[in-house]
């Protein structure tokens, strides 16, 4: 594993304000001074500001779970990059499979969001991954290639190198099913190959590729030991600070 490890917790639609403050405090206590791993938490929009306050003197960074690509205006229910920046956000998750399957996220909207996030100086975490049917039918590579090329269309190599890609096989998200370290690594190597075709080897080598899908303390070490796994995007296990810490500092 050549790149600095990056572990991000996606809290999804969990935590009220008090719960978010308490979880953030526990995360800071558990991993807030870790020096050799990049760590971020991505609470719901309503808790970003409060969590920013809790993590401000620690090494834990703030992420958002989505964004709208427009700068401002009549887009009821949406939040812009400038709004996220103004409350201390560093990272933005884009194209999560739940957004793709429940909220009409497409490769085109992923691309618009990625461009907007980069233009604002925030850092995208672009999610890609195949469903079980796609894996079984042998279309996995084509699906992932389309998602990666869709997300990065019209983006410069310099900007691409600021992105993180999260490989999240849909069949492993929230199911308890985890890709084996070998399956994850094969997918990561394939994603890196596409990025190399798009932007050259240097960008491909330095871009970080996280694995996401039922990652937990018990399987984190073996996944992170793989050559092309540079971190994790964590759902369920990010809601308990001790589990999250067990992934940031796997034994
Ligand atoms: C996710 O939704 O990004 C995720 C990886 O979830 P979980 O860890 O719960 O599978």
Three-state SS for 191? helix
pLDDT tens readout for residues 34-60: 999 999 999 999 999 999 999 999 999
Q: What pLDDT, on a 0 to 100 scale, did the predictor assign at position 1?
A: 45
The chain-wide mean pLDDT, for the chain, equals 97
pLDDT average, residue stretch 19-30: 98
Q: Give 233 Cα–ligand 1 centroid separation in angstroms.
A: 7
Residue 3 has pLDDT above 60, yes or no: yes
Domain boundaries, the chain: 6-248
Q: pLDDT by residue (tens digit) across 220-235?
A: 999 999 999 999 999 9
Residue with tokens 């039918």: 137
pLDDT by residue (tens digit) across 149-193? 999 999 999 999 999 999 999 999 988 888 999 999 999 999 999
Which residue among 13, 125, 233 is best mutated to probe the pocket of ligand 1, counting the most ligand atoms within 8 A of its Cβ? 233
Instruction: Please write the tens of the pLDDT for every residue from 80-129.
Output: 999 999 999 999 999 999 999 999 999 999 999 999 999 999 999 999 99
Residue 114's alpha-carbon distances to 67, 95, 136, 188, in angstroms, are 9, 9, 29, 20
Residues with CB under 6 A from ligand 1: 10, 168, 173-174, 212-215, 233-237
Question: What is the third-level CATH fold of 6-248?
Answer: TIM Barrel (3.20.20)
């Amino acid at each position: 594993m050549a790149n600095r490890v990056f572990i991000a917790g996606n809290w999804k639609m969990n935590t009220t304000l008090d719960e978010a403050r308490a979880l953030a405090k526990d995360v800071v206590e558990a991993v807030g001074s870790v020096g050799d791993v990049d760590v971020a938490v991505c609470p719901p929009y309503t808790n970003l500001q409060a969590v920013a306050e809790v993590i401000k003197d620690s090494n834990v960074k703030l992420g958002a779970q989505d964004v709208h690509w427009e700068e401002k205006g009549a887009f009821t229910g949406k939040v812009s990059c400038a709004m996220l920046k103004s409350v201390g956000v560093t990272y933005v998750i884009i194209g999560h499979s739940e957004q793709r399957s429940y909220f009409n996220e497409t490769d085109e909207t992923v691309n618009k969001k990625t461009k907007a996030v980069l233009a604002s100086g925030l850092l995208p975490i672009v999610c890609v991954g195949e469903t079980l049917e796609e894996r079984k039918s042998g279309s996995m590579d084509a699906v992932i290639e389309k998602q990666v090329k869709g997300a990065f269309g019209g983006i410069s190599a310099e900007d691409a190198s600021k992105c993180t890609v999260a490989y999240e096989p849909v069949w492993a998200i929230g199911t308890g099913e985890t890709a084996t370290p070998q399956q994850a690594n094969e997918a990561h190597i394939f994603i890196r190959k596409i990025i190399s075709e798009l932007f050259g080897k240097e960008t491909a080598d330095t871009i970080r590729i996280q694995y996401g899908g039922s990652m937990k303390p018990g399987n984190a070490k073996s996944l992170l030991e793989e050559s092309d796994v540079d971190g994790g995007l964590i759902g369920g296990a990010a809601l308990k600070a001790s589990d999250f810490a067990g992934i940031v500092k796997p034994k």
